[in-house]
Chain A
Amino acid sequence: DVKVTQSSRYLVKRTGEKVFLECVQDMDHENMFWYRQDPGLGLRLIYFSYDVKMKEKGDIPEGYSVSREKKERFSLILESASTNQTSMYLCASSLMGRGSTEAFFGQGTRLTVV
C-alpha cells in the first residue's frame, strides 16, 4: 500500500513565523507535489518536484519555498507565515509519466496562522 505521510494534521502558527510542513512517501515515486486546498478554489499547485533537488513552481508559489534533499521527502516552507496562508495543505506523490500518473495524497495539514 502506498503511503504518503504528512507530519502534522493540525498546526497553529503566529504571523511572521517560519513554518515547515513535512511529507514522506514510501513508494519510490519520482514526483512529489504540494497543493493548497481552499473552498471554491479547488487544489492549487504550489510546487512540484520531479527528482531530488529539482523543483518547479506551480500556480501559487509566492510566499513558499520547498526542499527535496532525499527522494522520499518533500518539505514545504512558509518563509514568513501570513494569515492568508491559513489553509489545508496536501502533499502527493506519483510516478513520472509511463502510462498513468495516479497521485497518492496524504491526509492533509490544516494550518491556521494567527
Chain B
Amino acid sequence: QQQVKQSPQSLIVQKGGISIINCAYENTAFDYFPWYQQFPGKGPALLIAIRPDVSEKKEGRFTISFNKSAKQFSLHIMDSQPGDSATYFCAASMLSNTGKLIFGQGTTLQVKP
C-alpha cells in the first residue's frame, strides 16, 4: 500500500516555465512533508519542507502548497532552469513519532533550454 502517491512520473518544462509536482497522502497522523531533490549519481537532498499548520512555504523559486483537508501537497518551481533538471521526491513523516520518512514514487523533471 503506497502511503504517499506522487504525480506525474515525468515532466518536461521549458526554461522559464513553472514546474508543478503533486503528492497525496493517506495517513492523517503525518505532520511533516519534505521534498527531496536528486541529481544523477547522487543521493537525494532536502530541498524544502512544510508542517501542516501552514498552507504555503516559499524558499526562493521553490514553493510548497499544502491542502490539509484534501490531504494533498505540491511543489511549484517558478522560472524553471536547466539546472533544476533532477528527480524530485515528496515524503511524509510523523515528527511526533520516530520520524520515519515515507517517500513518493518520484518525478523526473527535465527543463529544456
* Chain A contact residues, CB within 8 Å of chain B: 4, 31, 33, 35, 40-45, 48, 50, 56, 59, 90, 92, 94-108
Q: Are B99 and A42 in contact (CB under 8 A)?
A: no
* Chain B contact residues, CB within 8 Å of chain A: 6, 9, 32, 34, 36, 41-46, 49, 89, 93, 95-106
Q: Are B44 and A101 in contact (CB under 8 A)?
A: no
Count: A-B pairs, CB below 8 Å: 76
Q: Are A90 and B95 in contact (CB under 8 A)?
A: no
- B36 — which chain A residues lie within 8 A by C-beta? 103
How many angstroms from the CA of A61 to the CA of B103 in the assembled complex? 16
Nearest chain B CB to A66 CB, angstrom units: 14
Q: Are A102 and B34 in contact (CB under 8 A)?
A: yes
Interface CB pairs A-B, < 8 A, 13: A31-B100, A40-B105, A40-B106, A41-B105, A42-B103, A95-B99, A97-B95, A97-B97, A97-B98, A98-B95, A101-B34, A106-B43, A107-B41
